Amino acid sequence: MLLKANFVTKKMKFIIILIGVLIFLMGISLILNPDYILGFFEGNKENKGVFVFGILFRTIFGILLVLTANESRYPAIITFLGYFSLVAALALVVSLTYFGQESVQEMLSTLISDYGSYAPVLGGLSVGIGGFLVYAFLKK
């Protein structure tokens, strides 16, 4: 039983490292070519599947972080990020339920147009978070 639990934990750590690499690469993309990422969000803001994916991703990622936090170099920070991800998923569900998809789409359009010039800063933040996740779980 312990061997199986260890195997599952290693798989979860690998998934978190993979997500960290993807966040890192998205950050590089935001720094070098922000129109690519921002254009994707602008072009898919009416796609309900993107919202569903965002909710599911944040939920699963948050659960993974909380469950594997003790296997990282920084369990308190990883636990915080896990709960933060779960709260973000809940906030998106509440926003879509309470305000409706059209209002959330309008808010997303406003954010993209108003804060598009901050894309390199957000990219740097993404590079930092992605790199931190990889570092925190790579070896312990």
29 within 8 A of 36, measured Cβ to Cβ? yes
pLDDT at 1: 47
- Tokens 């998205």 sit at which residue? 26
What is the 3-state secondary structure of 13-26? HHHHHHHHHHHHHH
pTM comes to 0.83
Mean pLDDT across the stretch 35-54?
80
| 58-61 contact pairs (CB < 8 A, 24+) | 58/85, 58/86, 58/88, 58/89, 58/92, 59/85, 59/86, 59/89, 61/16, 61/19, 61/85
**Residues 45-100: tens digit of each pLDDT:** 777 888 889 899 999 999 999 999 999 999 999 999 999 999 999 998 988 888 87
